Every structure is written in C-alpha cells, then in structure tokens.
C-alpha cells in the first residue's frame, strides 16, 4: 500500500467519523429543541394554572396593601398637619418686639422692679 492510498484511507476515515459526529450533534440539537419546547409549554401551562388559582388572591392582597399604604399616608399627613398647627400655636404664644428700637424695652427688661 502506497503512502497516497494510506493518506486517502485515513482521510476517508476522518470524513466518516466527522459525519457520525455531525449526525450525533444534529440529533442532540433536535432533542434539546424538543425538550425546550416541551418545557416552555409546560411552564406556560403551569403559569396559567397558577394565575387561575391565585390571581384573585394576589389582586386582593395588592388592593389591600395599596389601601393600607393610602391610609398610612393619610394618617401621616394628618399627624404632620397637627404638628404644624401645634408649632404655629406655640410660635404665636410669645410676643416678640417688632424692632430693636422699642422705647419701653429697657423698662421691661430691667433686673429689679424696685429701681
């Protein structure tokens, strides 16, 4: 057997093995695609079942949470308004001189009333 025939035989064997690998790879890809499609269909079905079973409960819980948040915000606003009103009342309890040149200021700020 000559070297050319040996090389041709080895090349033919490589092509045969390559084709086997390509066929196996195509088979794996087809299997993976089928499995992926099955999983997607099953996931979609399970998601529909989940929403059918728990959708109302989730919507109700969401509505309750929003209502609770709204009530808390209302209460917070009321507390802040009460605090502002109390601060305004407290600020208006003390009379401050209109300007620094109050002519009676020295009289009322003296240390002793006996003078």
- Whether residue 22 is contained in a domain is answered as yes
**4-18, 22-36, 82-96 — which is least confidently predicted?**
82-96
Per-residue confidence band for 87, with pLDDT thresholds at 50, 70 and 90: confident
Question: Domain range spanning residue 29?
Answer: 3-91
Any domain includes 112: no
Inside any domain, residue 97: no
Q: Write the DSSP string, 3-26.
A: HHHHHHHHHHHHHHHHHHHHHHHH
Number of domains in the chain: 1
Kindly report the pTM of this predicted structure. 0.45
Over 80: is that where the pLDDT of 56 sits? yes
Is residue 113 in some structural domain? Answer: no
- Does 60 fall in a domain? yes
Residue 96 within any structural domain of the chain: no
Return the pLDDT at 28: 96
CB distance 62 to 70 below 8 Å: no
Q: Write down the pLDDT at residue 98.
A: 61
């Amino acid at each position: 057997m000559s070297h050319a025939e040996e090389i041709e035989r080895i090349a033919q064997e490589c092509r045969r093995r390559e084709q086997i690998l390509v066929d196996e790879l195509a088979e794996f890809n087809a299997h993976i695609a089928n499995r992926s499609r099955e999983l997607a269909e099953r996931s979609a079905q399970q998601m529909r079942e989940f929403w059918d079973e728990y959708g109302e409960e989730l919507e109700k819980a969401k509505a309750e949470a929003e209502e609770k948040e709204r009530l808390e915000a209302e209460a917070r606003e009321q507390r802040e308004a009460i605090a502002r009103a109390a601060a305004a009342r407290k600020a208006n309890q003390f009379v401050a001189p209109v300007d620094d040149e109050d002519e009676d200021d020295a009289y009322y700020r003296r240390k002793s009333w006996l003078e």
